[in-house]
Chains A and B, each alone.
Chain A
Amino acid sequence: MIDALFLTLSALAIWSGWRVFRVDSMVRASFLLMVSFIAVGLIAVLLAAPYIGIATIFMMAVEMMVMALFMVMFMMNPAGLNPMVMVHQHRFAVVAGIVAFAGLTAAALLSDLPSRPVPESAEVVRALGHELLGPSMLIFETAGVTLLATMIGAVVLSARSGRYGDSDAGSVPPGLTPGGEPAGRKPDDGRGRPHHHGGQ
């Protein structure tokens, strides 16, 4: 029963992970990635880690939702009606992916893996809580401070007003051909901010 569930979920995780890079719409791609995460979270639940598994689902649902938002914001083809293949160094990437898979699989199969399964009676969630706020508190708090630093850094990076004036000053879209005329909207007030909301 557990084996069948595990196989199904693994197949789902791998298949949806693969489809991420094969579908036309980026929204579909981000939600397929979410499906992959959910499958992995459920596998973690099967592995007797209810907190980590469900927390993965929870976190990734939020993350992929944010990702889909950014997708709709940035993609040139929001609805996904046109075929979308935007790849470079494709063959190299395929080979690298296969080599990574083969290498890691070989490592997993050839090495002598230890076998010390989780005891049936273990209270894993309680143990995790005591670990987080006990012996490993420094690590946990470091992660928290890192996240705070990330927040500050993200706001600084993405803010429009920069240290040396507006961050989008003199912004010019890339040329259609290398070194060619800038594509897309022409900056009309010398500041480069596109006016696509009726002059807002």
Chain B
Amino acid sequence: MIAATFALLLSLPLLVWVAAMFDRIGAGRGRVVMAPLQNGAALLLRPNTETEAPDQLNRLLAPGWYLALALVGLSVVPFAPGVVASDIATGLVLWGACEALTVVVVFLHGWSPNSPLPLIGAYRYVAIGLPAMLLSMFVLIGAALPAQSLSVAEVVEAQRDLWNVVRQPLGLPLFMALGLAITLRGPFDFAEGAELAGGASAEESGPALAAWRFARAAMLVAFSAMAATAFLGGYLGPVLPGPAWLLLKTLAVMAAAVAAGRFFARMPPARMLTFLWVVLLPLSFANLALVGVEALP
């Protein structure tokens, strides 16, 4: 358990670096390997911007909370049979709580500078983020159903015969919607859109922005690991050791998330809201019904 925690803390910065590289490849920019480090270092040297009468505490802590949620979410992912940082019986619920609190943290991040553009970004993000989170919970219940357990380790073990992505084909695509929403990218990036000059992060610069971007990439890592575990069989796989499989699958989901973020266009918030409630949410119910029928003996 302690070894798993250390492994997680050590590998996270590297994976965040890889996530930043993927983002650069997705954006079609060069100097893929070194540029994320250089940009991060440059941000650390710049001063923070001040705004008028901000909520100092929450402004300072929002990136830290985002990172903490990513870490807690990642901690329920088992690396190998029995090797997991936080071994609780209700891992999927804990992950769900992290999702819900992520929406809160992004709202705080936009609200605390006391400035119009960040507040608009945060406000409309909440409207989109809550239904996205809701549908992910139904999808995760679907993943828990064959395992008959809310423990993530059991969910992996239940996929020994057949991965959930085959058994419940709607699950992973719907879960990706959540991933895009909680990592603020692509079609669900209503918080930090360019049309709001950066939205929730419009007033940030310097170390605060660097910390926020780091936390955002860490959340992408956490989400990818969770998606790989819940739908792609986690550490299961032939020949290679378990952690290697988990790493490969995590990287694959990460690449898919970055690609989806670049590929799909963003809709106006009102239309996206209708799409989420009227199309995606019923789809997640359909997925759940499908899984239920399948699980009947």
Asked if A and B form a direct contact in the complex, defined as CB atoms under 8 angstroms apart, the reply is yes
Interface string of A40-80 (1 = CB under 8 A from B): 00000000001100110110011011101100100000111
Question: How far apart sit A50 and B103, CA to CA, in the bound complex (Å)?
Answer: 22
Contact B93 A54 (CB under 8 A): yes
Among B107, B119, B150, point to the contact of A65 (Cβ < 8 A).
B107
CB under 8 Å from chain A, chain B span 120-168: 123, 126-127, 130, 133, 150
Contact B90 A125 (CB under 8 A): yes
CB neighbours of B55 from chain A (8 A) = 25, 28, 80
CB neighbours of B97 from chain A (8 A) = 54, 57-58, 61
Interface string of B86-115 (1 = CB under 8 A from A): 001110011011001101100110010010
Asked whether any CB of chain A lies closer than 8 Å to the CB of B53, the reply is yes
Interface string of A92-114 (1 = CB under 8 A from B): 00000000000000000000000
Known A-B contacts A27-B111, A31-B108, A65-B104; A58 and B130 likewise in contact (beta carbons under 8 Å): no
CB neighbours of A39 from chain B (8 A) = none
CB neighbours of A27 from chain B (8 A) = 111
Question: How far apart sit A28 and B57, CA to CA, in the bound complex (Å)?
Answer: 11
CB nearest neighbor in A for B108: A31
For this complex, 6 residue pairs linking A to B, each with C-beta atoms less than 8 Å apart, are: A54-B96, A57-B100, A58-B96, A65-B100, A65-B107, A69-B126
Question: How far apart sit A31 and B104, CA to CA, in the bound complex (Å)?
Answer: 9
Contact B88 A66 (CB under 8 A): no
Number of interface residues of B (CB under 8 A): 24
CB neighbours of A78 from chain B (8 A) = 119
Minimum CB–CB distance from A197 to chain B (whole Å) comes to 14
Minimum CB–CB distance from A141 to chain B (whole Å) comes to 16
Contact B90 A50 (CB under 8 A): yes
CB neighbours of B114 from chain A (8 A) = 79, 81
Asked whether any CB of chain B lies closer than 8 Å to the CB of A13, the reply is no
Contact A69 B123 (CB under 8 A): yes
CB neighbours of B88 from chain A (8 A) = 50
Contact A51 B130 (CB under 8 A): no
Minimum CB–CB distance from A80 to chain B (whole Å) comes to 8
Known A-B contacts A54-B97, A57-B97; A66 and B89 likewise in contact (beta carbons under 8 Å): no
Among A28, A31, A51, A64, point to the contact of B90 (Cβ < 8 A).
A51
CB neighbours of A61 from chain B (8 A) = 97, 100-101, 103-104
Asked whether any CB of chain B lies closer than 8 Å to the CB of A34, the reply is yes
Contact A72 B123 (CB under 8 A): yes
CB neighbours of A25 from chain B (8 A) = 55
CB neighbours of B93 from chain A (8 A) = 50-51, 54-55, 58
Among A54, A64, A68, point to the contact of B94 (Cβ < 8 A).
A54
Q: Which of B90, B103, B126 has the most CB of A within 10 A?
A: B90
